[in-house]
């Protein structure tokens, strides 16, 4: 497989870092791949700009950060403006239609999905917005299977909330598949 | 996948290593970017019958583990630069009283409270000379989780072997990033246990009388022997002394037991050193960027090699001199203004051929940063 270099970006509290961790952990524990996850954030836990980098590869990973992602996820306008210029030409840009207005032409597969609105409509809880995003993402890249993500969710999420997360994951997968990319 | 594989932060890898080594007492005061060490030990230690105490500050934290160690426990505290500054007084007490303990400093940007959420390697010289008086110290570091685990186990081993505080100098980058760690089976890594005295109750025990091999057998404080422990210069009973002979012998003992074994204590890794024209020397997170450059340039036929230091103090001068003897250039890669650079220059035969590649703006040094400086050194322009 080609090295998968992903930047997740958004705002503190959206679950961007959690989603990145779940994806990387699934790759390592259930797909027999190597992965490194790192993050950069300010002193503010909620509301500040957040970025998490994930590299998934079959070989050793030395430098753990992503300089030029081939996959970029943006969940806020600020994150989009800040990070779209570093996206590798021909890469994949996944953004939320409610939060991000893609104003410029980028040399990338731009996938705008109404993830937030769909989560609110079908589940009604913003807390699983990140898991829906993760579902959409894995449907667009064939690196980690939904089953592997579910296995990780089971170890991280209290039983009472598991169904809601499963629903959000499946919703994301469905939206990703329907995006027609 | 190995069932002992976990996908965790570097700070958790340190926790796993400490527990594997037999840690059973931790006292600390949480501080970014070391907090996860306290967080995880708060849960894990009580589960195995150990003690976790959140103290009022870092001074008390180090004092508490020194006391616990004296009673026979394997102990650790964890902090970052600002807290490590507060620990310096007690650190020299642990050096003087020869009490085994492990102090983790997950480095962040400094000075003072600096940049809490960004990495740095600015405490290297603080680990060496932050506390007062002539002394020797052991400080170790690592660049990936498997090594963090092993280096942590080794820190406990060295602390027990040499009866000394050992400092683990990690950094925010490796501390916070997640990658796989496979925990070795029990018994796979050697563990050094406390050397206890064979002197029976009622027989004179000399707590500070070294054996022929220089080691001092300990007696658990509060158990069968009564003895004195002081930060003052002391005699073999542990009582204060201002005799020149006692002062001289004690100081020599404290320094020699570590400095004379610098080559033995030295842990390092080598990559592509067999025919390297240009040698990169790095440690901790920066060694990851350095290795990226070396692997990348090797594919293009450039003769680059890397020495990754895991023991920073005592500085392995002999090893560096020998390994760099045939190189055209040496480049030290670190996230500070040249703290190890200085040691390398002192070690090699041609210090004018030693250069620095660094970053001090809180941004983790990239392979491109290193490449740009390398091109300058090689006269290829920017």
| pLDDT per 10-residue tile (average), chain B, 382 residues | 92 98 98 98 97 98 98 98 98 98 97 94 98 97 98 98 98 97 98 96 94 91 96 97 97 96 97 97 98 97 97 98 96 98 98 97 96 92 68
Residue of A nearest to B8 (CA): A25
Interface of A with B (CB under 8 A): 21, 24-25, 28-30, 32, 34-43, 61-65, 67
User: Which architecture characterizes domain B270-377 according to CATH?
Assistant: 3-Layer(aba) Sandwich (3.40)
B180 and A63 within 8 Å at the Cβ level: the answer is no
B-chain CB neighbours of A35 within 8 Å are 7, 179-180
Question: What is the secondary structure of B150-217 as a DSSP string?
Answer: HHHHHHHHHHHHHTSEEEEEEEHHHHH-EEEEEPPPTTSS--PPP-B--PPTTS---TT---TTS---
> What ranges do the domains of chain B cover?
5-182, 270-377
Report strand pairing: A71-74 vs A91-96.
parallel
* Bridge partners, residue A38, by sequence: A53
pLDDT band at A41 (very low <50, low <70, confident <90, very high): confident
Of all helices (H) and strands (E), which one includes residue A41?
Answer: strand A34-41
**Tokens at A180, concatenated:** 């027609």
pTM exceeds 0.95 = yes
Distance from CA of B177 to the nearest CA of A (A): 4
Angle separating helix axes A129-140 and A16-30, nearest 10 degrees? 50
How confident is the model at residue A1, as a pLDDT? 73
Domain that holds residue A172: 4-178
How confident is the model at residue A43, as a pLDDT? 65
Q: Taking 90 as the threshold, does the pLDDT of residue A142 lie above it?
A: no
A-chain CB neighbours of B179 within 8 Å are 28, 34-37, 61, 64
B-chain CB neighbours of A29 within 8 Å are 1, 5, 7
Of all helices (H) and strands (E), which one includes residue A74?
Answer: strand A71-74
pLDDT band at A103 (very low <50, low <70, confident <90, very high): confident
Backbone angles phi, psi at B216, to 5 degrees: -115, 105
Distance from CA of B50 to the nearest CA of A (A): 26
Of the candidate ranges A13-17, A105-109, B60-64, B98-102, the one whose mean pLDDT is the lowest: A105-109
B292 and A21 within 8 Å at the Cβ level: the answer is no
Which among A21, A42, A62 is the nearest to B178, CB-wise? Answer: A21
Interface test with B, best of A37, A38, A56 (most B CBs within 10 A): A38
How confident is the model at residue A10, as a pLDDT? 94
A43 and B364 within 8 Å at the Cβ level: the answer is no
Backbone angles phi, psi at B149, to 5 degrees: -60, -50
A63 and B178 within 8 Å at the Cβ level: the answer is no
Nearest one of B117, B123, B118, B38 to B82, comparing CA atoms = B123
Topology of the domain comprising B5-182: Rossmann fold (3.40.50)
Report strand pairing: B5-9 vs B178-182.
antiparallel
The answer for B203, left when phi > 0, alpha when psi is -120 to 50, beta otherwise, is beta
**Tokens at B325, concatenated:** 């003897």
B5 and A28 within 8 Å at the Cβ level: the answer is yes
Domain count, chain A: 1
Interface test with A, best of B180, B292, B297 (most A CBs within 10 A): B180
Q: What number of CA atoms fall less than 13 Å from residue B176's CA on the CB side? A: 24
Q: What does the pLDDT average to over A167-174?
A: 98
At residue B337, the 3 state secondary structure works out as coil
- Look up the CATH number of the domain holding residue A8: 3.40.920.10
Distance from CA of A98 to the nearest CA of B (A): 30
């Amino acid at each position: 497989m080609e090295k998968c270099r992903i930047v997740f970006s958004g705002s503190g509290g959206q679950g961007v870092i959690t989603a990145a961790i779940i994806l990387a952990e699934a790759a390592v524990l259930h797909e027999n791949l190597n992965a490194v996850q790192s993050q950069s954030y300010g002193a503010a836990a909620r509301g500040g700009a957040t970025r998490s980098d994930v590299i998934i590869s079959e070989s050793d990973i030395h430098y753990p950060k992503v300089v030029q992602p081939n996959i970029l996820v943006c969940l806020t306008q600020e994150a989009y403006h800040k990070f779209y210029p570093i996206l590798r030409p021909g890469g994949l840009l996944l953004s939320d239609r409610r939060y991000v207005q893609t104003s410029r032409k980028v040399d990338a597969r731009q996938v705008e999905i109404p993830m937030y609105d769909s989560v609110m409509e079908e589940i009604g809880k913003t807390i699983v917005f990140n898991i829906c995003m993760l579902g959409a993402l894995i449907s667009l890249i064939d690196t980690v299977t939904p089953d592997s993500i579910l296995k990780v969710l089971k170890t991280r999420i209290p039983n009472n909330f598991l169904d809601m997360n499963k629903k959000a994951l499946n919703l994301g997968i469905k939206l990703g598949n329907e995006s027609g990319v | 996948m190995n069932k002992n594989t976990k996908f965790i932060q570097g700070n958790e890898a340190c926790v796993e290593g400490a527990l594997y080594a037999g840690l059973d007492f931790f006292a600390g005061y949480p501080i970014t970017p070391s907090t996860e060490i306290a967080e995880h030990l708060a849960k894990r230690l009580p589960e195995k019958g150990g003690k976790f105490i959140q103290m009022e500050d870092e001074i008390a934290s180090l004092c508490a583990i020194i006391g616990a160690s004296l009673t026979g426990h394997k102990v650790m505290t964890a902090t970052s630069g600002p807290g490590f500054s507060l620990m310096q007084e007690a650190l020299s007490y642990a050096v003087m009283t020869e009490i085994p303990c492990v102090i983790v400093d997950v480095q962040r940007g400094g000075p003072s409270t600096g940049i809490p959420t960004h990495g740095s390697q600015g405490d290297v010289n603080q680990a060496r000379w932050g506390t007062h008086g002539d002394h020797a110290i052991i400080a170790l570091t690592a660049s990936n989780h498997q090594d963090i685990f092993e280096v942590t186990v080794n820190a406990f081993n060295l602390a027990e072997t040499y009866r000394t505080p050992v400092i683990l100098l990690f950094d925010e980058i490796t501390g916070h990033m997640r990658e796989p760690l496979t925990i070795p089976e029990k018994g796979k890594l050697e563990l050094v246990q406390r050397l206890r005295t064979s002197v029976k109750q009622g027989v004179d025990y000399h707590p500070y009388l070294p054996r022929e091999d220089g080691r001092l057998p300990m007696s658990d404080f509060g158990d069968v022997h009564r003895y004195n422990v002081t930060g003052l210069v002391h005699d073999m009973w542990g009582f204060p002394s201002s005799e020149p002979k006692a002062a001289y012998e004690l100081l020599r003992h404290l320094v020699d037991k570590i400095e004379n074994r610098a080559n033995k204590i030295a842990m390092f890794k080598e990559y592509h050193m067999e025919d390297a024209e240009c040698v990169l020397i790095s440690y901790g997170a920066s060694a990851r960027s350095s290795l990226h450059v070396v692997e990348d340039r090797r594919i293009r036929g450039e003769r680059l090699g890397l020495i990754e230091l895991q023991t920073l103090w005592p500085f392995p001068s002999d090893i560096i001199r020998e390994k760099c003897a045939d190189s055209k250039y040496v480049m030290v890669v670190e996230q500070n203004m040249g703290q190890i650079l200085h040691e390398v220059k002192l070690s090699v035969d041609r210090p004018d051929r030693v250069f620095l590649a660094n970053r001090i703006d809180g941004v983790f040094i990239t392979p491109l940063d290193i490449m740009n400086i390398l091109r300058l050194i090689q006269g290829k322009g920017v």
